[in-house]
């Protein structure tokens, strides 16, 4: 199991910290000495996860705060609270997400749910927190993408899937957008001389509630996601699935603009290592257009 380096004295925000890879990352970062702000949509679930982590690591420094990435007002309120406190932020871990709800849903701002929650919300949060991050000595932004980004395309003609919604293609688009966010931010950091590391990760095929929560959205009974029907594929628990994200967030060997994922069978399981970046995430024209679209839709932009 990957051992997280000493994080004593660091303040880290982890979105989606109450379950799956987010909870595992929170536990291990806190066990390594970090003060972790658990950014969750439902505070009661966050407090329950906090209690579980404290049972494992009694010395953990944890704080639960509410954020709904499907609501830009909530993102703004969360960022404003941290900014008012004035404490430098060492690491932002963009982990939370929703996967392949069978029907089209929208966010509080009218965005298609996956594009809004998985990409636009994290984009806005990153832009809003960059001033705090840049006050830290060695700040990082670690963003969770997915292996499905390899199959994604940015549908500029209908990015909100208003005409013909596809659960899986919409998810793949949102995770490709996350990867582009990470790569573009790394590029900006180099251009501006910021001491900021931006890296992305993917968990391979990790067994969490992500597969069932999205598939069950809007349904009276719990549903199985499409991945659950591929029983022949190798899979792993959250303990290992969180390791590429932990590497991106905390390891001294992580590099700006890199992408990390499992290195075992089919890239779905195994120890964390460098992952291949799809050529679609390196298209400069696409990346610039997506960035401009995200700025316009969220009303946020890079600090001057």
| Residues acting as catalytic residues | 171
Reduced DSSP (H G I as helix, E B as strand, rest coil) percent helix, strand, coil of the chain, to 5: 45, 15, 40
Among candidate residues 104, 99, 97, 103, the one with its CA nearest the CA of residue 118: 97
Closest CA to 138 of 45, 292, 15, 256: 256
Which residues of the chain form beta strands (DSSP E)? 11-15, 35-40, 61-66, 91-94, 140-144, 197-201, 259-262, 272-274
Query: Does residue 98 contact residue 217 with C-beta atoms inside 8 Å?
Result: yes
Q: How many CB atoms lie within 10 A of CB 47?
A: 15
Reported as type and span, the H/E element at residue 104 is none
């Amino acid at each position: 199991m990957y051992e997280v380096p000493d994080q004593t004295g660091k303040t880290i925000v982890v979105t989606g910290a109450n379950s799956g890879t987010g909870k595992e990352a929170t536990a291990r970062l806190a066990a390594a000495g970090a003060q972790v702000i658990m950014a969750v949509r439902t505070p009661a679930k966050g407090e329950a996860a906090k209690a579980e982590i404290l049972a494992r690591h009694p010395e953990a420094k944890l704080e639960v705060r509410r954020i709904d990435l499907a609501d830009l007002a909530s993102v703004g309120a969360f960022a404003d609270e941290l900014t008012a406190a004035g404490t430098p932020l060492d690491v932002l871990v963009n982990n939370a997400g929703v996967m392949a709800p069978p029907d089209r849903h929208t966010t509080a701002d009218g965005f298609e749910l996956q594009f809004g929650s998985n990409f636009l919300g994290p984009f806005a949060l990153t832009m809003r927190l960059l001033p705090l991050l840049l006050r830290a000595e060695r700040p990082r932004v670690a963003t969770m993408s997915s292996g499905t980004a390899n199959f994604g395309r940015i549908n500029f003609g209908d990015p909100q899937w208003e005409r013909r919604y596809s659960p899986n293609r919409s998810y793949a688009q949102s995770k490709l957008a996350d990867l582009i966010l990470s790569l573009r931010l790394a590029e900006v950091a180099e251009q501006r001389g910021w001491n900021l590391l931006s890296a992305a990760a993917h968990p391979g095929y990790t067994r969490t509630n992500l597969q069932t929560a999205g598939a069950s959205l809007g349904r009276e009974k719990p549903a199985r996601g499409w991945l659950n029907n591929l029983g022949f594929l190798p899979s792993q628990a959250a303990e290992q699935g969180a390791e590429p994200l932990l590497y991106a967030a905390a390891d001294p060997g992580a590099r700006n603009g890199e992408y990390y994922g499992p290195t075992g069978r089919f890239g779905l399981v195994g120890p964390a290592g460098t992952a291949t970046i799809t050529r679609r995430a390196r298209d400069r024209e696409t990346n610039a257009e997506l960035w401009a679209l995200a700025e316009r839709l969220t009303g946020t932009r890079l600090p001057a």
